[in-house]
């Protein structure tokens, strides 16, 4: 990795941390809030631009499309999260989503930089991955995952501004369990049985109890305008993420058919992408159905976020197998 590329990547990482703090701090200074939100956004733009250049530089250095291992994929993910947020922030006033987005990007940077060094290096590709299909297949998937995660975060905020704080904390606890399981699975040799239990158990208990607490509303903390806003943002994220996921899954099928002669082989990672796809198809149809309230949809969006985490990171770190295991490094 060249100095230049490293410096850019570090700038991007530090910018995401910095914008996180400015976003958070903006809540403490009512008078300066507008200015600080703007500033946080600008810092994030700096991070986004430097990450864009870093990824391009990496591609030039490696003489290949810079998306071949987990580390590079995490860079893309952080890039898509920042870009997705900035895109949404052009049309919505969503300062609170900003700090969640930069927190997510930061987490991805940290997760990536703590990976074993072999993952940072620019390694040659195994025959199965030498194909232009790779660059058609993977980026839409990563961007769609980032959009779904932004949608889930927006759903958390929807619960918050809807006065459903208990539900929100329970949903956050579910996400924390999932994140912890992934981190433990990546950096420690803990048996995957316990990790899977932590992930699935935490998600289920957290979400079900969040659902049950939905009617615990504090009217004093309710801001209906903001609820509508975050509901709208959440749906927008899904509306952008779903076509991208569809394109990603289908082009993956086209690639597989081109390379192995079968567009679908029930490979675990393939199946997981299908699970995510089916779940968001269910979500879309749930929206068509009139009598489902926004806060219930919010819980479903958080469930979607967990599924995305499972598909994207949980899979390799929690000990599932399969063809797509270039992300494995244990």
The Cα–Cα gap between 74 and 120 comes to 11
- Nearest distance from residue 307's CB to ligand HEM, in Å? 16
Give least dist CB 250 to ligand HEM, A: 11
Check residue 117 for interaction with other proteins (CB under 8 A).
no
Torsion angle, CA of 32/35/39/40, rounded to 10 degrees? 60
**Which partner in other proteins, ligand HEM, none is near 201 (CB below 5 to 8 A by kind)?**
none
Residues 6+ apart with CB under 8 A from 88: 94, 97, 150, 233, 236, 237
Task: Report yes or no: 162 and 219 within 8 Å, Cβ to Cβ.
Answer: no
Q: How far is the CB of 298 from ligand HEM (least distance, A)?
A: 18
From candidates 34, 38, 216, 258, binder to other proteins by CB under 8 A: 258
Size of the residue set binding other proteins (CB under 8 A): 53
Out of 49, 61, 135, 232, the residue judged to bind other proteins by CB under 8 A: 232
Identify residues 212-231 at the interface with other proteins (CB under 8 A): 228-229
Among 239, 293, 296, 330, binds other proteins (CB under 8 A): 239
What is the C-alpha separation between 149 and 210, in angstroms, rounded?
18
Name which of 120 and 228 has its Cβ closer to other proteins: 228
- For residues 291 and 295, give the distance between their C-alpha atoms in angstroms, rounded to a whole number: 12
Q: Give CA separation, 308 vs 145, 153, 185, 209, in Å.
A: 6, 12, 17, 20
b/e string for 284-317 if b means 16 or more Cβ within 10 A? eeebeeeeeebbebbbbbbbbbbbbbbbbbbbbb
**CB under 5 to 8 A by kind: which of ligand HEM, other proteins, none does 87 bind?**
none
> Which residue number is nearest to ligand HEM in terms of Cβ?
281
**321 makes contact with other proteins (CB under 8 A):** yes
Site string for other proteins, 84-113 (x = CB under 8 A): -------xx---------------------
Q: Check residue 131 for interaction with other proteins (CB under 8 A).
A: yes
By CB under 8 A, residue 190 contacts other proteins: no
Query: Are the beta carbons of 45 and 62 closer than 8 angstroms?
Result: no
Chain-centroid distance, C-alpha 283: 17
Q: Does 166 bind other proteins (CB under 8 A)?
A: no
Determine whether 124 is exposed, middle or buried from the number of CB atoms within 10 Å of its CB (0-12, 13-18, 19+).
exposed
The stretch among 37-45, 166-174, 181-189, 243-251 that binds other proteins (CB under 8 A) is 243-251
CB of 217 to other proteins, least distance (A): 20
Is 275 among the residues that bind other proteins (CB under 8 A)?
A: yes
* Binding region for ligand HEM (CB under 6 A): 281, 284-285, 288
Helices (H), the chain: 3-26, 33-62, 70-91, 95-113, 117-120, 133-161, 165-187, 192-212, 224-260, 268-288, 294-309, 315-317
Of the candidate residues 6, 42, 60, 282, the single one contacting other proteins (CB under 8 A): 282
CB of 306 closer than 8 Å to CB of 170:
no
| 3-class state of residue 162 by DSSP | strand
Binding partner of 240, given ligand HEM, other proteins, none, CB within 5-8 angstroms per partner class: other proteins
Contacting positions for other proteins (CB under 8 A): 91-92, 124, 126-128, 130-131, 133, 196, 228-229, 232-233, 235-236, 239-240, 242-243, 246-247, 250, 253-254, 257-263, 265-269, 271-272, 274-275, 278-279, 281-282, 284-286, 288-289, 315, 320-321
């Amino acid at each position: 990795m060249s100095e230049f590329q490293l410096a850019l990547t570090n700038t991007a990482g530090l910018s995401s941390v910095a914008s996180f703090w400015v976003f958070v701090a903006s809540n403490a200074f009512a008078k300066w809030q507008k200015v600080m939100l703007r500033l946080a956004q600008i810092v994030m733009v700096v991070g986004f631009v430097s990450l864009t250049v870093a990824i391009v530089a990496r591609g030039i250095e490696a003489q290949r499309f810079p998306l071949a291992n987990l580390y590079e994929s995490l860079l893309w993910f952080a890039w898509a999260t920042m870009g997705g947020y900035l895109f949404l922030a052009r049309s919505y006033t969503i300062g609170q989503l900003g700090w969640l987005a930069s927190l997510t990007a930061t987490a991805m940077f940290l997760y990536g930089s703590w990976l074993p060094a072999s993952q940072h290096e620019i390694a040659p590709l195994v025959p199965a991955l030498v194909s232009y299909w790779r660059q058609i297949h993977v980026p839409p998937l990563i961007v769609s995952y980032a959009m779904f995660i932004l949608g889930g975060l927006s759903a958390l905020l929807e619960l918050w501004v809807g006065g459903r704080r208990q539900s929100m904390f329970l949903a956050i606890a579910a996400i924390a369990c999932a994140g912890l399981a992934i981190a433990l699975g990546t950096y420690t040799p803990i048996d995957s049985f316990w990790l899977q239990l932590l992930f699935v158990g935490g998600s289920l208990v957290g979400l079900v109890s969040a659902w049950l607490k939905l009617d615990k509303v504090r009217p004093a903390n309710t801001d209906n305008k903001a609820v509508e806003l975050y509901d709208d943002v959440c749906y927008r994220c899904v509306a952008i993420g779903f076509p991208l996921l569809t394109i990603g899954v289908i082009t993956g099928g086209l690639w597989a058919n081109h390379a192995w002669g079968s567009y679908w082989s029930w490979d675990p990672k393939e199946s997981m992408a299908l699970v995510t796809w089916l779940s968001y198809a269910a979500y879309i149809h749930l929206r068509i159905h009139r009598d489902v309230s926004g806060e219930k949809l919010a819980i479903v969006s958080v469930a979607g976020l967990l599924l995305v985490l499972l598909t994207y990171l949980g899979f390799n770190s929690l000990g599932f197998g399969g063809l797509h295991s270039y992300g494995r490094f244990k």
